[in-house]
């Protein structure tokens, strides 16, 4: 059944945050690429039903809502006191887990990217000579250090990421991290800036793909701002199109060993494309995972990605919204769907031009529903036929014994004369 625009029951809630590039700071006046779709959903705009999964936030967290045990260091303010306020040159404060929240479940040997949002609460500017460094605990195949991607002035925040691999054995793991300045001095968060921030995961064994959104992309009904779209689409179609890429190339030039889903919105201001997939029954521990970025050499790409869901025939809710510009990086999305366990859920994958359309080739790498545990194998059915009173066919000699009924034998086709004469032409004389 087509996902008719008139039947959409709830708004696509899009937070007006800035491009999720390096700094991820909201940009004033950022256009809303999903505003058109929001209008279509106004029938239930006042509805705010309770839901286990979160509404979109500025952080693509590993769970629908992220809670942190980290303290946040407040910047001291001047007071009418004789005690002077001392601020350190290098000091940081934890803001949020952008990806992989505390206790996130991972499968054995799973590669993942941990990202923290950290604020500079000191008096010195952090330069690209500063590093994110491993300080102890479980390394999880991490490098010793990762350089900061940009300058961070006092009061500003930055997303800091490191690529990790989950251990092969089941259990809980935690790795501790700090910052290091250009002179080799370590500092962190908390009072005195001496506390590490950390990554905490739980390895729960193997996992498998319960549903592959890229492989099954034509299961979805695809639409743009005002019409249905064919699947697969045609490259270059100004109305927008969707394609499965067997050998995708990411904006950093990498070719991942996975399928790509290329969603190109309508060539228009805040143009859209979205696909509504058939309902999937969610189990406890299921995760939605994908990498999002722009396609290689789409230099002007500036897009918004959005994942929505609909339980049964209820209102449409937003699972997350993320922004991507062409800056040679990608965003790792991992959302825990456990709060939707036992429900039949339709997922909606959407992409929108962030303002004017210009090379907005939104590329999803390996979008899938991941399920923990051993992949079930098809149980073979017993194809043996038990003995019955009716014997099975057994080949025998093909000699056919003579029977009383003779087979057809060709005979002469002479027709005996009858009393009805056939017409015989006669000679007709013609007078001169």
Residues 6+ away with beta carbon under 8 Å from 144: 133, 134
Task: With CA atoms as reference, report the closest residue to 6 among 218, 226, 222.
Answer: 226
- Alpha-carbon distances, residue 313 vs 235, 280, 316, 344 (angstroms): 33, 13, 9, 9
| HSE (side-chain half, CA atoms, 13 Å) at 359 | 13
pLDDT band (50, 70, 90) for residue 41: very low
The full length of the chain comes to 432
**Residue range(s) occupied by CATH 2.60.120.260 in the chain:** 5-64+208-372
The pTM is what? 0.63
Q: What is the mean pLDDT of residues 335-355?
A: 96
Q: What are the tens digits of pLDDT across the range 243-290?
A: 999 999 999 999 999 999 999 999 999 999 999 999 999 999 999 999
Q: What is the mean pLDDT of residues 25-39?
A: 49
Q: What are the tens digits of pLDDT across the range 96-133?
A: 998 999 999 898 888 999 999 999 999 999 999 999 99
Q: Is the four-CA dihedral 159, 147, 21, 334 of positive or negative sign?
A: negative
Q: What are the tens digits of pLDDT across the range 68-79?
A: 332 333 333 434
Task: With CA atoms as reference, report the closest residue to 371 among 205, 223, 191.
Answer: 205
pLDDT in the model for residue 426 = 41
Q: What is the mean pLDDT of residues 393-398?
A: 41
Q: What are the tens digits of pLDDT across the range 183-203?
A: 999 999 999 999 999 999 999
Indicate the fold that domain 92-206 takes in CATH.
Immunoglobulin-like (2.60.40)
Looking at per-residue pLDDT, the higher value among 404 and 108 belongs to 108
Map residue 191 onto helix, strand or coil. Answer: helix
CA distance 192 to 310: 47
Q: Is the pLDDT of residue 29 over 60?
A: no
pLDDT in the model for residue 329 = 87
Per-residue DSSP letter, 39: H
Q: What is the mean pLDDT of residues 305-321?
A: 96
Q: Quick one: residue 253, left, alpha or beta (phi over 0 = left, psi -120 to 50 = alpha)? A: left
189 phi and psi angles, rounded to 5 deg: -115, 180
Q: What are the tens digits of pLDDT across the range 205-238?
A: 888 999 999 999 999 999 998 899 999 999 999 9
pLDDT in the model for residue 169 = 87
Task: Give me 271's structure tokens.
Answer: 């143009």
Task: With CA atoms as reference, report the closest residue to 294 among 84, 21, 11, 35.
Answer: 21
DSSP 312-365: TTS-EEEEEEEEEESSS--EEEEEE-GGGTTSEEEEEEEEEESSS-SS--EEEE
Q: Is the pLDDT of residue 82 over 60?
A: no
**Residue range(s) occupied by CATH 2.60.40.10 in the chain:** 92-206
Task: Give me 129's structure tokens.
Answer: 């000579």
Q: Is the pLDDT of residue 240 over 70?
A: yes
Looking at per-residue pLDDT, the higher value among 207 and 4 belongs to 207
Q: What are the tens digits of pLDDT across the range 148-172?
A: 999 999 999 999 999 999 998 889 9
Task: Give me 61's structure tokens.
Answer: 């967290």
Q: What is the mean pLDDT of residues 413-430?
A: 40
Task: Give me 37's structure tokens.
Answer: 């779709």
DSSP 49-112: ---SSPPP-SS--SBSS-------PPPP---SSSSPP---SS-EEEEEEEES-TTEEE-TT-EE
- Tell me whether strands 207-212 and 316-325 are parallel, antiparallel or unpaired: unpaired
Q: Is the pLDDT of residue 182 over 90?
A: yes
Map residue 176 onto helix, strand or coil. Answer: strand
pLDDT in the model for residue 87 = 83
| HSE (side-chain half, CA atoms, 13 Å) at 269 | 4
- Give domain 5-64+208-372's CATH architecture: Sandwich (2.60)
């Amino acid at each position: 059944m087509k996902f008719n625009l008139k039947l959409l029951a709830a708004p696509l809630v899009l937070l007006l945050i800035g491009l999720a590039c390096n700094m991820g700071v909201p940009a004033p006046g950022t256009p809303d690429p999903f505003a058109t779709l929001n209008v279509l959903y106004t029938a239930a705009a006042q509805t705010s039903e309770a839901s286990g999964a979160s509404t979109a936030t500025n952080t693509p967290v590993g769970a629908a809502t992220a809670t942190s045990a980290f303290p946040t260091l407040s910047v001291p303010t001047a007071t009418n006191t004789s005690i002077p306020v001392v601020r350190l040159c290098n000091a940081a404060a934890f803001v949020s887990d952008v990806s992989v929240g505390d206790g996130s479940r991972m499968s054995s040997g799973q590669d993942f990217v941990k990202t923290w949002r950290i604020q500079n609460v000191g008096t010195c500017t952090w330069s690209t000579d500063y590093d994110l460094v491993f300080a102890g605990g479980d390394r999880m195949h991490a490098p010793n250090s990762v350089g900061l991607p940009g300058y961070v002035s006092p009061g500003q925040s930055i997303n800091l990421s490191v690529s990790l691999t989950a251990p092969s054995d089941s259990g809980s793991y935690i790795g501790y991290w700090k910052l290091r300045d250009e002179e080799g001095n370590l500092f962190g968060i908390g009072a005195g800036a001496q506390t590490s921030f950390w990554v905490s995961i739980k390895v729960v064994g193997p996992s498998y793909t319960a549903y592959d959104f890229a492989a099954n992309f034509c299961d979805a009904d695809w639409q743009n701002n005002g019409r249905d779209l064919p699947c697969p689409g045609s490259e270059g179609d100004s109305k927008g199109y969707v394609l499965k890429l067997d050998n995708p190339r990411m904006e950093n030039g990498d070719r991942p060993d996975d399928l790509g889903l290329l969603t190109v919105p309508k060539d228009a201001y805040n143009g859209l494309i979205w696909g509504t997939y058939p309902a999937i029954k969610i189990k406890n521990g299921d995760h939605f995972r994908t990498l999002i970025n722009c396609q290689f050499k789409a230099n002007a790409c500036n897009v918004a990605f959005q994942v929505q869901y609909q339980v049964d025939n209820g209102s449409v809710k937003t699972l997350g919204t993320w922004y991507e510009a062409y800056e040679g990086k990608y965003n790792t999305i991992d959302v825990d769907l456990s709060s939707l366990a036992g429900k039949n859920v339709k997922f909606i994958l959407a992409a929108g031009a962030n303002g004017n359309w210009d090379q907005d080739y939104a590329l999803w790498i390996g979008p899938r529903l991941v399920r923990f545990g051993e992949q079930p194998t098809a149980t073979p059915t017993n194809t043996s036929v038990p003995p019955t009173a009716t014997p099975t066919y057994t080949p025998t000699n093909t000699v056919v014994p003579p029977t009383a009924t003779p087979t057809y034998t060709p005979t002469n086709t002479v027709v005996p004369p009858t009393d009805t004469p056939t017409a015989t032409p006669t000679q007709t004389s013609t007078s001169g």
